[in-house]
Amino acid sequence: MSETVRRATELIELVASGARTLREISERFDVHRSTVFRQLKTLESAGFLVHRDDGTWAIGMRLVAIGQQAVDELDLRRVAHAALRELHRHVGGTVHLAQLIGDGIHYVDKVEDTDGVRMSSRVGGQVDAVRTGVGTAILAHLPAPDRTRILDAEAARGAEPPRDDRAVLERRLTDIRGRGWAADDGEFEEFVNCLAVPVLSSAGRIHGAVSISAIRAARPLTELRGELGRLQHCAAEIARQLG
């Protein structure tokens, strides 16, 4: 581990134990204040630390969010395991569980189609946020700043631009939020369709999304729509267990 990275982790661990002044931090590491201040400012610019009005340094919200997302990811996959497989037993196809992690939406679990039709998706893989059912189901329920951050990150990583401009996309997400489900009718992969619903807490916080995907020629979207009740029941059961 490089000296810079080691010092950064030590600074974060120290501040995590309680807000500290610049003097306290520099004395703890026996380093000149100007050197420590530069390191603190770097961590502040990344959102890991925050400089309070009283002069102390404290943990930043980005670090809090990353920690919470890590906990949620583990809890979500563990809690959802049985419900996803029960859903798959009734509806077949391929069942996905997705979640917002950092600046992207990722698959965190998957139950394969038992008929031997394998989707290209993989657990841990990043989801196209705009052209997939789980992606839009999650986007639709995010606060506007988070939604903008995700869309900007998609553009920055060179993802294929959406067919819709942002204003049209916002209207589409409003519709999804209102009706409680999202669909992908060959938008991401031409031969595949998908029906997705959000996993929401009782307060409306988005935990993730669950979807059923199938080959369009075998099961058109109208047929998948017939499984909406089971899909919503699965999402509600996961949310209930998450508390």
Q: Which residue ranges form the domains of the chain, and what is each CATH number? A: 3-59 (1.10.10.10), 65-242 (3.30.450.40)
Give one DSSP letter per residue of 86-140, joined into a string: HHHHHH-SEEEEEEEETTEEEEEEEE--TTS---S--TTPBP-TTTSHHHHHHHT
Q: Is the pLDDT of residue 210 over 70?
A: yes
**CB neighbour class for 103 (10 Å; exposed up to 12, middle 13-18, buried from 19):** middle
> Which of the residue ranges 130-134, 182-186, 234-238 has the most confident prediction, judged by mean pLDDT?
234-238
- Residue pLDDT, tens place only, 18-42: 899 999 999 988 888 898 899 999 9
- Residue pLDDT, tens place only, 38-96: 999 999 998 899 999 999 999 988 887 777 666 555 678 888 999 999 999 998 889 99
Of all helices (H) and strands (E), which one includes residue 196?
strand 192-200
Q: Are 49 and 87 in contact (CB under 8 A)?
A: no
What one-character DSSP code corresponds to residue 40? H
The pair of three-digit structure tokens given for residue 196, joined into one six-digit string: 């997705």
> 240: number of CA atoms within 13 Å, CB side?
7
Q: Is the pLDDT of residue 161 over 60?
A: no
